[in-house]
Amino acid sequence: MSRTILVVDDDRKTVDLIRLYLEKDEYQVLVAYDGRQALETTRLVHPDLIILDLMLPKIDGLDVCRTIRAETEIPIIMLTAKTTEDDKLVGLDIGADDYITKPFSPREPLADGKGISLNAVIDPDLPFVFADPERVRQVLRNLLDNALAYTPSSGNVSIEAGCHNGMVAVSVRDTGSGIAPEHLPFIFERFYRVDKSRTRSTGGAGLGLAIVRQIVEAQGGQVSIDSTLEKGTAVTFTLPKISDTG
């Protein structure tokens, strides 16, 4: 039985983006565009998780949070454009369980919804690389989607970036189900699919990692994978530093 998540936000683009990622991971997504709808839906359906914007019409998000918390223990993740610690503490003090600051990656609600810890460890002295920024974002989106899809609740997903052997190396690591050794030599081939335990019922043609390799190699880098069953997977790609390109 899929878990039900209520998304409360008057910004329809934000709602659609969050819903897209949650439904890809087989959550049932309900939507409310104002505070009254949020309270009515919560009382009627009793969702497993609420993602709540604090700036809402009709009833302020803080009041919605306060009311829900007085009636139920449903976990609440608040969305806020306010960035100071005092602003965030207000929501936590009235009963929110966590917060995400706008603008945010749609993967953050997905990670929070599954109880996954999402972390980044980035070398502060990282040099510039010779690469197409949009293509690099595509690679990261693909790797993060895979990591979040196959990491169980209370697991961990991390992004690490630093210099290695004269290149900039970026790794996406998860504590998911892992991949059997016999599949690893073929994992970057087009249309290659691992067994059904790593296949989403929502589809996918087995092109994701093949596209990752194509993009990375076209920009002078390499990609590799290290995985252990029941322990997790790390995919690492490298890109040349600008100073190394000539």
Which tokens in the block code for residue 183?
């599949």
What pTM does this model have? 0.59
Q: What is the pLDDT of residues 52-64, one digit of tens each?
A: 998 888 888 899 9
Spell out a b/e string for 91-125, using b for 16 or more CB atoms within 10 Å of the CB, else e.
Answer: beebbbbebbeeeeebbbbbbbbbebebeeeeeee
Multiple choice CATH, 4-113, 2.30.30.180, 3.40.50.2300, 1.10.540.10, 3.40.190.10: 3.40.50.2300
The phi, psi pair for 67, rounded to 5°, reads -65, -45
pLDDT band at 13 (very low <50, low <70, confident <90, very high): confident
Q: Is 46 helix (H, G, I), strand (E, B) or coil?
A: coil
Q: Is 166 left (phi over 0), alpha (psi -120 to 50) or beta?
A: left
User: What is residue 228's predicted lDDT score, i.e. its pLDDT?
Assistant: 93
User: What is residue 173's predicted lDDT score, i.e. its pLDDT?
Assistant: 95
Interior angle at CA 110, CA 105 and CA 114, nearest 5: 145
Q: What is the pLDDT of residues 133-181, one digit of tens each?
A: 888 988 888 888 888 878 888 899 999 999 988 899 999 999 998 999 9
Q: What is the pLDDT of residues 15-41, one digit of tens each?
A: 888 888 778 767 889 999 999 999 999
Give which of 16, 46, 20 is closest to 33, Cα–Cα.
16
Residues forming a β-bridge with 167:
164, 240
Whether the per-residue pLDDT at 116 is higher than 80: the answer is: yes
Contact partners, residue 124, CB within 8 Å, separation at least 6: none
Answer whether the bond into residue 103 is a cis peptide, omega within 30°.
Answer: yes
Whether the per-residue pLDDT at 113 is higher than 70: the answer is: no
Multiple choice CATH, 119-244, 3.40.630.10, 3.30.565.10, 3.40.50.150, 3.40.50.12280: 3.30.565.10
Domain borders along the chain are 4-113, 119-244
